[in-house]
Amino acid sequence: AQTVTQSQPEMSVQEAETVTLSCTYDTSESDYYLFWYKQPPSRQMILVIRQEAYKQQNATENRFSVNFQKAAKSFSLKISDSQLGDAAMYFCAYYGGATNKLIFGTGTLLAVQP
Amino acid sequence: GAVVSQHPSWVICKSGTSVKIECRSLDFQATTMFWYRQFPKQSLMLMATSNEGSKATYEQGVEKDKFLINHASLTLSTLTVTSAHPEDSSFYICSAGVYNEQFFGPGTRLTVL
């Protein structure tokens, strides 16, 4: 069965600094998708970034980028120039065709210090 | 685009009553809709998956007779919590799926007194 692990329950970063959130997963599938979602205090789930497993190039979205290591089954999120609005719970998620559903990690609560 | 609404955003009810939560995809048709439950400071727990016109598929441990899901159209799914009890109090989130991507509703906070 597929699993997603986020080993950092909480992280803190200074405003304007860079932070990296870790995520590892386990799967036997070769074709799948990985996502990072942000859940601010409003609790609305917001897609931050997605990565297709067949793409070797790491996805980037403005200040957000990922380090996708397929062989190591690692999918970390880097937030550059952190802003106060980045403070939220971040969930790593996996989607594969075998289950047709998202599998979430336990989340990392990110605090941004002014 | 890809907006999903939920109604109501919050509801308070008495123990023993039933509560219906609606999930609508406003500007697209979703092949599949998902219902999640989330406890404070925890991850999303998938309750069930529903496809339009067919019965929902419930995750292990979820009582299908307590959490009734109806997927009447490609843009509307409803979750009815029947005979609600205080332990059903939680945050319920729906999402609408198009292929490998899901778009989430804003959630519904249910409080059962």
> Which helix (DSSP H) or strand (DSSP E) does residue A37 occupy?
strand A32-39
Q: Is the pLDDT of residue B34 over 80?
A: yes
Please tell me the predicted confidence (pLDDT) of residue A47: 95
Of A44, A95, A102, the CB nearest to B106: A44
Do B104 and A43 count as a contact with CB atoms less than 8 A apart?
Answer: no
With b for 16 or more beta-carbon neighbours within 10 A and e for fewer, the A7-25 pattern comes to ebeebebeeeeebebbbbb
Do A109 and B41 count as a contact with CB atoms less than 8 A apart?
Answer: yes
- Relative to beta strand B108-112, strand B10-13 is parallel
Q: How far is A27 from chain B (nearest CA, A)?
A: 16
Q: Does B88 touch chain A (CB under 8 A)?
A: no
Q: How confident is the model at residue B72 (pLDDT cuts 50, 70, 90)?
A: confident
- Relative to beta strand A10-14, strand A108-113 is parallel
Do B44 and A91 count as a contact with CB atoms less than 8 A apart?
Answer: yes
Q: How confident is the model at residue B23 (pLDDT cuts 50, 70, 90)?
A: very high
Please tell me the predicted confidence (pLDDT) of residue A67: 97
Q: Is the pLDDT of residue B30 over 90?
A: no
Please tell me the predicted confidence (pLDDT) of residue A54: 93
Q: Is the pLDDT of residue B40 over 80?
A: yes
Place of tokens 């500007």: B27
Do B102 and A102 count as a contact with CB atoms less than 8 A apart?
Answer: yes
- Among positive and negative, which fits the CA dihedral A99, A41, A86, B26? positive
Please tell me the predicted confidence (pLDDT) of residue B97: 87
Q: How confident is the model at residue B19 (pLDDT cuts 50, 70, 90)?
A: very high
Please tell me the predicted confidence (pLDDT) of residue B53: 81
Q: How far is A59 from chain B (nearest CA, A)?
A: 16
Please tell me the predicted confidence (pLDDT) of residue A1: 83
Measured CA angle at B17 (ends B14, B21), to 5 deg: 100
Of residues B30 and A5, more confidently modeled = A5
Please tell me the predicted confidence (pLDDT) of residue B99: 79
Of residues B54 and A87, more confidently modeled = A87
Q: How far is B65 from chain A (nearest CA, A)?
A: 22
B59, burial (CB in 10 Å: exposed 0-12, middle 13-18, buried 19+): middle
Segments in chain A below pLDDT 70: none
> A50: nearest CA in chain B?
B101
Of residues B38 and B101, more confidently modeled = B38
Q: Is the pLDDT of residue B1 over 80?
A: no
Do A45 and B91 count as a contact with CB atoms less than 8 A apart?
Answer: no
Contact list, A44 vs chain B (CB under 8 Å): 104, 106-107
Cα separation, B108 vs B111, in Å, equals 10
> B31: nearest CA in chain A?
A100
